Chain A
Amino acid sequence: MRAKEIFKNYLFVLPAVLIFSIFYIYPFYKVFTLSLCQWDGIARFDFAKNFIGLRNFVELFQDKIWWSAMLQAGYITLIALTFQNALALMLALACDRDIKGGNIYRVIFYLPPVLSEVVVGLVWRWIYDGNYGLLNYWLQQIGLSNLVTDWLSNPKTALTCVAVIHCWKGFGWGFIIFLAGLQTIPRQLYEAAKVDGASSWQLFKNVTIPLMIPVFILVSILTVLGTMQVFVLILSMTGGGPGYHTEVPVTRILASMVGSSRFGYACSQGIMFGAVLLAVSFIQIKLSKYMKQA
């Protein structure tokens, strides 16, 4: 009877286990296996013949371009974590109040995230264009001709330009989540604090922030994971150039896989990238728990 019961329980979870195994466990296992091999993605795969041990990982640790791509993704992430989320929070705070046409603002702020990333990249590429771009045109119109430059071909500005557009494209997600979080805070808390004579800043500092910490954690983790994997915008705006100045981990993985036909190396890059993201997320969660307790 007991065995039958156990068998039945396992049977219930079987579909989920099957789906998870086929679409998650097996691909991960395959990627890990490939990361230990030298394979071009075309020849018939033979593990024994292609196995090279940890050589891909050793090479990866010495690959300066890979680590600078990682740093560049980190730079974009830092800008997203600060400016993008600050903007999202400010707008969410503004929309949380009973302002006229609140719903219109919500729709407008949420528009960039629903636009196609390729389209956004191409449109902004045109705006940034050094010859015929709108940005340079307006700078000249307002007498700031000294600022006119080739925004995406200038190594000093290219990465920041991409980061700014990534923030513009992504702040809507944060805005929606922050707004949802703000609306779960009981109004009575604000009213009670106001009765006690709390100022707007004190309300924000002592009521809003503590109650929003779980939301901040969620948004920051999503921002880190989403931004580190930025890819489509880069591809449509700069293609990783000029030189290696806007390369990010995913463009490097693509270059290894498609450009060099090095599937094994690309898989080791994928594993390494996943491990870094996992480590960053883990640190974030630990930090957040510490902040909550504090």
Chain B
Amino acid sequence: MKCEYRKFCLFFMLSLATVLLTTFLTNCSPQTQKKDQPVSIKIWHWMSDREDAFLELARVYEAGTGVKVDFELYAPSDAYTQKIRAAAQTNTLPDIFGILGEKRDFASFVNSDYVYDLTGEMNKDNAAWKDKLFAKALAVNEFEEGNTFGVKPGIYGAPIDVTNIQMLYNKDLLQAAGLDPSNPPKTFSELMEASRKLKEKGIQGLVSGWGEIWMIDCLASNYAFNIMGKDKVLATIRGDVPYTDPDWVKVFDLFREMRDEGFLASGIVTMVNKTAEQLFANNRAAFAFNGSWCVNVYKGMNPGLNYGAMLPPRVSDQYPMMIWGGAGSSFIVNKQSKNIQGAVDFLKWITDAEQQAYLSKETQNLPSNKDSLKDIPAVLSQFAGAMDNTTHPSVWGVSEFPVVIEALDKGIQSIIIGEKTPVQLGAEVQAIKEREMAKKQ
């Protein structure tokens, strides 16, 4: 009896250990597609607002080609970012995925052999695929000769939409303040003048998601390009021009001026973009700083919102006002995929004029295909019209240290709350920049 009990215990313990080990090892092993399974493409993305449109496109693609496309949504974007990094480490990336992050992260994916080089496909048939896409959108996915990331020159992703970030103005509120809604402010001093009139009428000025600090970075670099030009901005990033330069102080000082004029909405430094969008959509602020994706958001929140888009009012006439823009979202092909050609074919199909027009209509995003720009809403046309003014850190060829970007953005928050002066901020950011450069050497 005792012997049987022992045997049972031994058997139980061994079984349990085996089950645990098997479960662990099975989950750790890379996913493989069995040979007898039908051809399918797996895509990971984070775009919850486009999920329905993607599913519909997948259905159409399967009906036409017999290839099943599985769109798997992982949101929010932070969780998605972590998921693809973890999947890269375990070789479980899907056939197609998108990369969220800076150019440095993209380069790291490419250098680690996770990304298939699409240059050959783009240039096939006299560059048929490449030519139908907006060059600015492709540039975000491109690494040029001599790039600082050590990536072999080429195109590594296909843009599925185009975006840019501009200022939006509420026509009804401008009219209520005695301003001409058909002629919004074009210069910074006109903007401040408008701000005074809005203030007199008790109308809030600018709302934006400056709690998410990258949007501050975006407006600051817009004005940096306008005040000192592209070359000087890039020279600063390379470390040749200090952040204490009077031009940079002038950029920081614009935020002080906006604060002093009462142009910035109360609580803007901790405001998330969703809140800013709600305030603007509900006629509670005359201006917003937001991306072209807002057209869809505002339509959902207040279909009757009467607004327009414009470039941020310029400070200087010496250099053009540049705004962030280019590819909104891009898909890349996993170099380790067993179905690379199938994935490439699907990307070609989804960036075709018909599919792009459908995506644009359903999601109110700018299409990445040049031939799909017909029949888009008026505000979206205004965004499309500013594509020539777009630039993006991803196409600069040099990149700033993340800690410097954080110090700059948080520092501008500090200027807005009256804790720091523009001169102090310049000195602080420069000190961090020098520290990081010293570490690199």
Chain A interfacial positions (CB closer than 8 Å to B): 8, 11-12, 14-15, 18-19, 22, 40-45, 129-132, 150, 152-155, 158, 237-239, 241-244, 255, 258-262
Given A40-B108, A242-B269, A242-B413: A261 in contact with B17 (beta carbons within 8 A): no
Q: Are A243 and B21 in contact (CB under 8 A)?
A: no
**Chain A residues touching B, majority SS:** loop
Q: Are B24 and A11 in contact (CB under 8 A)?
A: no
Sample of 21 A–B contacts (CB below 8 Å): A8-B10, A11-B14, A14-B13, A14-B17, A15-B17, A18-B17, A18-B20, A18-B21, A22-B24, A40-B108, A41-B85, A42-B112, A43-B111, A44-B112, A130-B267, A155-B417, A241-B413, A242-B416, A243-B413, A255-B406, A259-B406
Contact of B403 among A45, A131, A239, A260 (CB under 8 A): A260
Q: How far is the CB of A153 from chain B (nearest CB, A)?
A: 4
Total A-B pairs, Cβ < 8 A: 104
Q: How far is the CB of A132 from chain B (nearest CB, A)?
A: 8
**Chain B residues touching A, majority SS:** helix
The answer to the question of B81 belonging to the interface, with a C-beta cut-off of 8 Å to chain A, is: yes
Q: Are A153 and B268 in contact (CB under 8 A)?
A: yes
Alpha-carbon distance A8/B85, docked complex (angstroms) = 42
Contact partners of B211 in chain A: CB under 8 A: 238-239, 241
Contact of A158 among B9, B102, B270 (CB under 8 A): B270
Q: How far is the CB of B9 from chain A (nearest CB, A)?
A: 7
Alpha-carbon distance A155/B101, docked complex (angstroms) = 29
Known A42-B112, A150-B267, A158-B270; 5 more pairs at CB < 8 Å? A8-B10, A12-B9, A22-B24, A44-B89, A130-B266
Contact partners of A22 in chain B: CB under 8 A: 24
Q: How many residues of B contact A (CB 8 A)?
A: 48
The answer to the question of B339 belonging to the interface, with a C-beta cut-off of 8 Å to chain A, is: no
User: Which 3 residue pairs of A and B lie closest in terms of their CB atoms, listed nearest first?
Assistant: A260-B402, A130-B266, A42-B108
Q: How far is the CB of B2 from chain A (nearest CB, A)?
A: 13
Q: Are B88 and A258 in contact (CB under 8 A)?
A: no
Q: How far is the CB of B150 from chain A (nearest CB, A)?
A: 11
Name, among A11, A42, A43, the residue most crowded by chain B CB atoms within 10 Å (CB to CB): A42
User: Which B residue sits closest to A41, measured CB to CB?
Assistant: B85
Alpha-carbon distance A41/B100, docked complex (angstroms) = 13
Interface residues of B in 1-52 (CB under 8 A from A): 6, 9-10, 13-14, 16-17, 20-21, 24
Alpha-carbon distance A241/B415, docked complex (angstroms) = 13
Alpha-carbon distance A19/B21, docked complex (angstroms) = 9
Contact partners of B402 in chain A: CB under 8 A: 259-262
Alpha-carbon distance A12/B17, docked complex (angstroms) = 10
The answer to the question of B82 belonging to the interface, with a C-beta cut-off of 8 Å to chain A, is: yes
Q: Are A154 and B417 in contact (CB under 8 A)?
A: yes
